[in-house]
Structure 1
C-alpha cells in the first residue's frame, strides 16, 4: 500500500500541514488534563476563585485551538484523500487503456471495474484515517504515558500491564482478518461478474426463461460474499468489547489504587483526575489504532490488486524507434502469419499468407472458428503474431506506433457497438473534426440516411447506451458510417453486413465500391453473396489458407469454398 502513496506527491504540502495541525491538536489535548489538575489542586483546594477563572479561560483557549486544528486537519485530510483517489483512478484507467486484449483476458472486465472503483475507495478511506491518526494516535499514546508517569510513576504500572494486552489483541485479530479481506475482494469480483453478465445478457436470459437460474447464481455469489463478510465482522468485532472491558477495568484499577495513594499522601486529587484522563486518552488512542487495523488489512489487499494492474506491462507496446513516416497507400500483406491465443492448445491461424492491394476488395471467408476475425485482430495489433509478419506498404505493423497504425484503419466490428449520445456523436466518433456535411455524406453511403431522417430529431436523436434503441441492421449501418467518416487508407469490415437484408446489402456494397476506390478494403463475411464480386477471396479452413482467387476460380479449384457456396446458393445462382 505504501507504494501507492507516491501519488500523494501533488498534495505533499497539505500532508505536511495536516501533520503540523494534528501535532498541535495532540499537544492541546495533552495539556488540558494538567490544567484541570492545577485548577483542582490550587484553585479549588485553596478557594482561589480568580485562579480558577484564569485557568478556566486558558483551558477554553487551549480547547478552541485544538478544535480548530482538528477541524482544519479533517478538511485537508478529506480533500487530500479524495484527490489521491482521483489521481489513482486516473492512472489506473490510463494504464488500462494501453492494455492489449491479452491483459483484459487475464484480469477480466468485472475484476477491472472492481479494482478501479471499490479497491481504490478502500485505500482512499484508509489514507484519510491514517492522516488523522498516524501522528495523533502514537503521540497521544507516548505523550499520555509520559504525562501519566510524571503524575505518579507507580500508578502507571496499571497501564504497563494493560497496554501489552491490548496490543496483543490487535495483532492477533489483524492476522486473522487479512486473508479474509483478500478473499472478500475476490468474491466481490465474482459478484460483479455475475451481475454484469446478467445485465448485458438480459434479453437472452428472458428469451430462454433462465431468470430463476440467474437469480440463483447471483444469490450463491452474494451469499458467498456475505458469509465471508460476516466472518470478518465477527472477528473484528471482538476488538471493541475487549477494548471497552480493558478500558473500564483500567479506570477502576486506577481509581482504586489512586485513592489509596491519595490517602497515603503520595498523590493529590487533581493529579488523580489528570491521570485518569491521560489513561482514557491512551486507551482511546489504542482504540483508534485498532480501528485502523480493522481497515488496513482490507485496504492492503485492495492495494495489492491495484498495484498488480499498475505493474502489468502491456504485452503490446510501441517500438523504441517508431518509423518517421507512416505508410500512406494501405497495401496489406500477411506473410506466414501464425498465432495462438493464450492458453490455447493449437494455433488459431497457421502460416497464413496473402496480399490485399490498394483499390481492390479482398474478402476472407470460412467456417465458424476458421480464424477470420483473428486476422483482423492481428492487423489492428489487438494481439501480436507469434510467427511471420503483417506489413502495410512494406512496413511491419510492429514497427509502427499503435496510434498511427489504427489511424489508417476504418474498422467496423463484428458486433456493432454504439455509445450513449446522439446519432451525429456516434458517427463523429470516427473523426472528431468531421463537419456536418461529412457526417451526412457518410450516412448516405452507409444507407443510414433514410432511417435517420425518419427519427424525430434526425442526427441529434438520442442513442441509448449500447444503441439498444436501434435495430441490429441500423447499428451496423451507423458503425459503417463511423468508419467512412474517418476516410482511412484501409477499411476492415468484420462480418459487418450480417444484419442487413439482401437489398440493402447490395446497395451498400455498390455505394462502398465507389466511395472506397482508392483504399484497401478487407471484408470478413459469412455470406457468399456479399463477397462474390471481390477482386480476391481468401478461403480459410481450420486456421489455414485453403484457397485464394476470384469467385469463379475458387469454384473450380477449392473444395472448401465450393461447399460453402453450395450450402448458400441455388444451382441457378451458382451458374
Structure 2
C-alpha cells in the first residue's frame, strides 16, 4: 500500500476529485429511497398533486446527479490507475537498467517479467476496483447510519452489530488468504520459469525424448497454482455468503419488528 501511495502522490488532485465525486454519488444514491418514502407518505396522506410532483422531480434530479458522478468517477478512476501503472512500469524499467548481471540472474528472467507485466497490471486493476467498489462503502455506511438513527434508534443498532461481525470475519479471512496469495506469486514465477525453459529448450527436450516428462512437469505446476487459487477464492466466497446472510437477516428483523410494533 505504501508503494501505491508513493506512485499516486503526483496525482493527488485527481484522487481528491474522485473522492469528492464518490461522496456526492453516495449521498445522492441514499437520498433516492428517502424521497421515495416521502412520496409514499404523501400519497397515503392525500397530499396535493403538486407536492408529489415536486418530490418526483427531486428524485429525478438526484438520480441524474448520482449517475453523472458515477460515470465521471469511473472514468477518472481508470485514468488514475492507468497513470499509476505507467509510472510504476517506468520506474521498474529504469531500475532494471541499473541492475548488474549478477542481480538480474539472482532475480531471474521469469520474476522480472512477472513483476513488470503481471504485478503492475494487478495493481492497476486493484486500484480501479478499490475506487469503484470499496471507496463508497465508508460514505454509504456513515450516511446510512445517520439516516437510520434519524428514523429509529433501536433498529439502527442491529445493522451496526451485523457490520461489526462481518468486519471481524473479513479480517480473519484476509489474514488467512494473505499467505496463499504470496504463495501464488511464487507459483506464478515458477510457471513462467517452466514455460521459458520449455520454449528455449524445445530442441533438447525432443532430442532426449523428454516430452512426456516436461508435460507432467507443466501439468503439476499448473495444478498446484490452480488448487492454491481455488483455496484462496473459496475463503472470499464464504465472506460473500456471510454478507448476504447478514443483510437478509437485518431485513427480516426489520420486517418482524415493524409488524410486531
TM-score bracket, shorter-length normalisation: over 0.9
**Secondary structure of 1:72's aligned partner:** helix
Cα offsets for 1:227-284 (capped at 9, x unmatched): 11111111121011111111111101111112333xxxxxxxxxxxxxxxxxxxxxxx
Query: What is the CA distance between 1:13 and its match in structure 2?
Result: 1.9
User: Which runs of 5 or more residues in structure 2 are unaligned?
Assistant: none
Q: Distance in 2 between matches of 1:218 and 1:143?
A: 52
Query: What is the CA distance between 1:134 and its match in structure 2?
Result: 4.8
Match of 1:14 in 2: 14
| Aligned partners of 1:159 and 1:250 also within 8 Å | yes
1:118 partnered with 2:118: yes
Higher helix share: 2
| Aligned partners of 1:29 and 1:63 also within 8 Å | yes
Cα offsets for 1:453-473 (capped at 9, x unmatched): xxxxxxxxxxxxxxxxxxxxx
Match of 1:44 in 2: 44
Q: Distance in 2 between matches of 1:160 and 1:194?
A: 50
**Secondary structure of 2:132's aligned partner:** helix
Match of 1:249 in 2: 249
Cα offsets for 1:487-514 (capped at 9, x unmatched): xxxxxxxxxxxxxxxxxxxxxxxxxxxx
User: Which runs of 5 or more residues in structure 1 are unaligned?
Assistant: 262-575
Query: What is the CA distance between 1:4 and its match in structure 2?
Result: 2.8
Matches within 5 A, 1:12-161: 12-161=12-161
Please report the TM-score for the alignment, with normalisation by the length of structure 1. 0.44
Query: What is the CA distance between 1:144 and its match in structure 2?
Result: 0.5
Matches within 5 A, 1:133-282: 133-261=133-261
Query: What is the CA distance between 1:213 and its match in structure 2?
Result: 1.2
Q: Distance in 2 between matches of 1:208 and 1:48?
A: 90
Whose radius of gyration is greater, 1 or 2?
1
Q: Distance in 1 between matches of 2:131 and 2:159?
A: 26
Q: Distance in 2 between matches of 1:207 and 1:3?
A: 47
Cα offsets for 1:415-446 (capped at 9, x unmatched): xxxxxxxxxxxxxxxxxxxxxxxxxxxxxxxx
| Aligned partners of 1:81 and 1:127 also within 8 Å | yes
**Secondary structure of 2:153's aligned partner:** coil
Query: What is the CA distance between 1:5 and its match in structure 2?
Result: 2.1
Matches within 5 A, 1:445-460: none
**Secondary structure of 1:155's aligned partner:** helix
Matches within 5 A, 1:393-432: none
Q: Distance in 1 between matches of 2:135 and 2:220?
A: 43
Query: What is the CA distance between 1:133 and its match in structure 2?
Result: 4.3
Cα offsets for 1:331-373 (capped at 9, x unmatched): xxxxxxxxxxxxxxxxxxxxxxxxxxxxxxxxxxxxxxxxxxx
Q: Which has the higher contact order (CA 8 A, sep 6+)?
A: 2
Aligned CA-pair RMSD: 1.4
